[in-house]
Chains A and B, each alone.
Chain A
Amino acid sequence: MSVDLQAKQIEPLRNTFGHVAKYVKGNKPASRYEEATFGAQPSTNFHYRPTWDPSHELFDASRSEVVLEDWYVLKDPRQFYYGTWAMARAKQQDAVESSYQFVESRGLLDAMSDELKQLTCDVLMPLRHVTWGGNMNNCNIGAIGYGTAFTAPAMFHAMDQLGVAQYITRLGLAIGETAVLDKGKQDWLEQPHWQVLRRYVEDTLVIEDPFELFVAQNFALDGLLYPLIFETFIKDRITKEGGAGVAMVTSFMSDWFKETSRWINAVIKTAAAESEANNQVITRWANEWSKRAEQALAPIAEIALQDNAQAGIDHARAELDTRSNKNGLSQK
């Protein structure tokens, strides 16, 4: 007797879950990102309204002035779901770790002059509290925002902000003792030149519209802060004056800023393109908050860049304006 073995192709009747298939064109298999994102937002059969906000459902798109037919259009171009995000960050963490090893084994931070160490700490240490604000705000977007495509990356972003705060802390501890961190907190609370920024951060903590919060924190504030501090200040000043070690151990921040800008741009661009009303309201937020952020950062640019403060601010501003234009926001 002979046994005839044959390979047979069995066509699956369905390529993905029904709630995902609605968003994937042409009955194609869905990617992991699509399966983790589409249709995951609870939308019906809520039991009762939250006692802390009886005018809205627990998950309610009307918490934002931005109106979208379908909040799943706010896709993340990086296609992050928990797995890919965690793997990407783990890789970056390894890179930072080896930078620290290099910097510490060669004493690059110790080799810096006392004035330069002082300047680095004066500018960077209070930023721990700014990124903590960024963590809170993005958590809040995750909590009150609508649509997993929007809220899930916001939650990743919140954890990233916490990571940035930790990297700054670690740099502080590598340069000095815990006194450096205490001094940073004291500056944040008491030094007049930090108070405008502190006010900005504290005001964003109570914004009730998740999309406005997104614009105020991720686009306006971070969009000016990162180019100013991690590009201009660290690259053009600290590095040139002998602090290349600082640049090495903060390289995550500039890479992260570039990477997350893609996501932030995509969200703003898509939401603004959906309707004229959206465009107007987002433009208004972007203009108002970026103007305030610029004012808040001016005194910090003074201590960080001294004579070049205005040039640093202008450079960051120009970069943000380019992004506004590319995202289709009408200018002022």
Chain B
Amino acid sequence: MSNVFIAFQANEESRPIVDSILADNPAAEAVYSPGLVKIDAPNRLVVNRETIEEEIGRDFDLQELHINLVTLSGHIDEDDDQLTLSWDH
């Protein structure tokens, strides 16, 4: 078992994204450091478009998260509705 992670700049725009990720991934943990928030999760982490939309009250294009994305690790499985990080092939 190893971690995957995703990190965002800590700002007003990324806060609802971080909140939705934490809501969707009970095992995930957010680590705050100056200007940065890194979310670690064992094996698998999923970002859902719908959860973010509920959080911010408007339509959201998953590509928008790249504006504040700093780094990530894990194999990416991405479509219009979700982005999943895991170590599966």
Question: Which residues between 1 and 50 of chain B lie within 8 Å of chain A, taking CB atoms?
Answer: 12, 15-16, 32-34
Cβ contact within 8 Å between B34 and A7: yes
Chain A CB within 10 Å, residue with most, of B12, B15, B57: B57
Minimum CB–CB distance for A193 against chain B, Å:
39
Q: In the docked arrangement, what's the CA distance between A32 and B13, Å?
A: 10
- With A7-B34, A8-B34, A9-B34 known as contacts, the answer to whether A32 contacts B12 (CB < 8 A) is yes
Q: Which residues of A lie under 8 Å from residue B57 when comparing CB positions?
A: 33, 76-79
A32 to B16, CA, bound (A): 11
A326 to B: closest C-beta gap in Å:
17
In the bound complex, do residue A9 and residue B15 qualify as a contact, i.e. CB atoms below 8 Å apart?
no
Q: A29–B11 Cα gap in the complex (Å)? A: 10
Q: Is B56 an interface residue (CB 8 A)?
A: yes
How extensive is the interface on chain A, given as a class?
10 to 19
Closest to B19 in A: A28
Main secondary structure of the interface of B (DSSP, over half): mixed
Q: Which B residues lie within 8 Å of A88 (CB)?
A: 58
List, in ascending order, chain B residues with CB within 8 A of A280's CB.
none
Q: Which residue of B lies closest to A80 (CB)?
A: B57
Chain A residue at minimum C-beta to C-beta distance from B16: A31
Interface pair A79/B32, CB less than 8 Å apart = no
Instruction: Contact check, A31 vs B58: say whether CB atoms are below 8 A apart.
Output: no
Q: Bound complex: CA of A8 vs CA of B32, how far in Å? A: 11
Binary flags per residue of A77-100, CB closer than 8 Å to B gives 1, else 0:
111000010001000000000000
Tell me whether B12 and A9 are in contact (CB under 8 A): no
Interface residues of A in 1-25 (CB under 8 A from B): 7-10
A7 touches B33 (CB 8 A): yes
CA A79 to CA B15, docked complex, whole Å: 15
Tell me the minimal C-beta distance from B28 to chain A in angstroms: 17
Q: A79-B57, A79-B58 are in contact. Are A31 and B33 (CB under 8 A)?
A: no
| Chain A residues in 8 Å Cβ range of B34 | 7-10
- Of chain B, the residue at the smallest CB distance from A78 is B57
The smallest beta-carbon distance between B50 and chain A, in angstroms, is: 14
Chain B residues near A10 (CB, 8 Å)? 34
With both chains docked as a complex, state the minimum distance between the C-beta of A86 and any C-beta of chain B, in angstroms: 14
Q: How far is the CA of A10 from the CA of B33 in the complex (A)?
A: 9
Identify the closest chain A residue to B35 (Cβ).
Answer: A7
CB distance from A31 to the nearest CB of B (A): 7
Nearest residue, chain B, Cβ from A262: B57
Most buried by B among A8, A9, A77, A84: A9
Given known A-B contacts A7-B33, A8-B34, A78 and B58 have beta carbons under 8 A apart? yes
Chain B residues positioned under 8 Å from A79 (CB to CB): 56-58
A7 to B12, CA, bound (A): 21
CA distance A7 to B57 in the complex (A): 35
Known interface pairs A76-B57, A78-B57, A88-B58. Does A9 touch B32 (Cβ–Cβ under 8 Å)?
A: yes
List chain B residues, Cβ under 8 A from A76.
57
Q: Report Cα–Cα, A10/B35, bound state, in Å.
A: 11
Report how far A10 CA is from B34 CA in the complex, Å.
8
User: Separation in Å of the B63 CB from the closest CB of chain A?
Assistant: 16
Query: What CA separation (Å) do A33 and B15 show in the bound complex?
Result: 13
A9, A33, A77: which contacts B33 (Cβ < 8 A)?
A9
Which residues of A does B touch, CB under 8 Å? 7-10, 29, 31-33, 76-79, 84, 88
With contacts A7-B34, A29-B15, A31-B12 known, what are 18 further pairs, Cβ within 8 A? A7-B33, A8-B34, A9-B32, A9-B33, A9-B34, A10-B34, A31-B15, A31-B16, A32-B12, A33-B57, A77-B57, A78-B57, A78-B58, A79-B56, A79-B57, A79-B58, A84-B58, A88-B58
Closest 6 CB pairs of A and B: A79-B57, A78-B57, A7-B34, A77-B57, A9-B34, A9-B33
